[in-house]
């Protein structure tokens, strides 16, 4: 896989404080090399960016160290599309540290590479987040039990409350799924009120406590695949 840095990529790296080695500003591309790659949400945890995975933009950061001198050559952040590029590197051995924040790594955090003149070395960084999903329905008789014939609650808004709030809505069948959530601390689902409805009787098929308007908390780990069902009952 060959990814070439664009002018915008280089400009963004410089704006974010990339530290160039002396004299590299006028380096000849034929005599220097580069390290380029992608940070991504590795949803199947196989360490390879593939179908179903998603680029992780903005938050990942990188530190490149020249192993011959021990000096940090570059510090930069990912572009919004998850890509990064470190250019104008003199041939030699380098170490790149890729930080992916509140996510479980599926690839090594630190990689050592050999940079040759006129070549780009590709180093990708994968990480995995938690997943929360479920469904919502209209409990027409308010007994807390989901029964045949009771309709789905379509387009119902909700939040998954983790270290940040992730917003979602149910689809036409009342289903929802939120992926790539941070794997730190705990989370809970907080559905929003629907006009003319309240949260149904707890203890049955609904996981929402009417007193708090949220689900019970659950741990946020790379293995979290939490299912939370939401029941709405008509008011009156």
Pick from 5-14, 65-74, 106-115: least confident: 5-14
**What SS3 state is found at 215?**
coil
Mean pLDDT of 26-34: 76
Q: What pLDDT is recorded for position 92? A: 97
Where exactly are the structural domains of the chain? 7-128, 130-234
Residue 138 has pLDDT above 90, yes or no: yes
Provide the H-helix boundaries in the chain.
Answer: 7-15
pLDDT tens for 193-213 read 999 999 999 889 999 999 999
Length of the chain: 236
Are the CB atoms for 126 and 55 separated by under 8 Å? no
Q: What pLDDT is recorded for position 58? A: 79
Q: What pLDDT is recorded for position 18? A: 37
Residue 12 has pLDDT above 50, yes or no: no
Residue in 161, 168, 150, 169 with CA at minimum distance from that of residue 215: 161
Q: Do domains 7-128 and 130-234 have the same CATH topology?
A: yes
Q: What pLDDT is recorded for position 82? A: 94
Q: Confidence class of residue 41 from pLDDT cuts 50, 70 and 90?
A: very high
Q: Confidence class of residue 57 from pLDDT cuts 50, 70 and 90?
A: confident
Between 47 and 4, the more confident residue is 47
CATH of 7-128, one of 2.60.40.10, 3.40.710.10, 2.40.30.10, 3.40.190.10: 2.60.40.10
Q: What are 121's two structure tokens?
A: 């070395």
Mean pLDDT of 22-48: 81
Q: Confidence class of residue 166 from pLDDT cuts 50, 70 and 90?
A: very high
Name the pTM for this structure: 0.79
Q: What pLDDT is recorded for position 27? A: 56
Residue 135 has pLDDT above 50, yes or no: yes
**CA atoms of 116 and 45, how far apart (whole Å):** 30
Mean pLDDT of 34-40: 96
Beta-carbon contacts of residue 217 (< 8 Å; ≥ 6 apart): 186, 187, 188
Q: What pLDDT is recorded for position 197? A: 97
Q: Confidence class of residue 177 from pLDDT cuts 50, 70 and 90?
A: very high
What class does CATH assign to 130-234? mainly beta
Between 171 and 3, the more confident residue is 171
Question: What letters, b where the CB count within 10 A reaches 16 and e where it falls short, cover 112-138?
Answer: ebebeeeebbebbbbbbbbbbbbbbbb
Are the CB atoms for 176 and 143 separated by under 8 Å? no
Q: Confidence class of residue 80 from pLDDT cuts 50, 70 and 90?
A: very high
Residue 115 has pLDDT above 60, yes or no: yes
């Amino acid at each position: 896989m060959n990814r070439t840095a664009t002018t915008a990529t280089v400009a963004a790296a410089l704006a974010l404080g990339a530290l160039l080695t002396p004299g590299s500003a006028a380096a000849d591309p034929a005599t220097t090399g580069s390290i380029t790659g992608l940070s991504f949400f590795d949803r199947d945890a196989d360490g390879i960016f593939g179908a179903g995975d998603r680029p992780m933009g903005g938050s990942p950061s990188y530190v490149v160290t020249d192993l011959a001198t021990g000096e940090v050559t570059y510090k930069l952040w990912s572009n919004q599309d998850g890509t990064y590029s470190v250019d104008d590197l003199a041939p030699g051995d380098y170490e790149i540290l890729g930080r992916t924040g509140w996510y479980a790594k599926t690839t090594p955090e630190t990689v050592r590479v050999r940079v040759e003149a006129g070549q780009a070395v590709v180093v990708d960084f994968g990480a995995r987040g938690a997943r929360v999903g479920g469904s919502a329905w209209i409990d027409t008789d308010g007994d807390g039990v989901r029964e045949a014939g009771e309709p789905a609650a379509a387009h119902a808004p909700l939040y998954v409350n983790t270290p940040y709030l992730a917003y979602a809505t149910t689809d036409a069948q009342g289903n929802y799924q939120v992926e790539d959530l941070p794997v730190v601390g705990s989370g809970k689902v907080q559905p929003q009120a629907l006009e003319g409805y309240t949260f149904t009787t707890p203890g049955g098929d609904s996981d929402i406590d009417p007193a708090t308007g949220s689900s019970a908390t659950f741990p946020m780990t790379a293995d979290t695949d939490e299912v939370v069902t939401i029941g709405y009952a008509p008011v009156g």
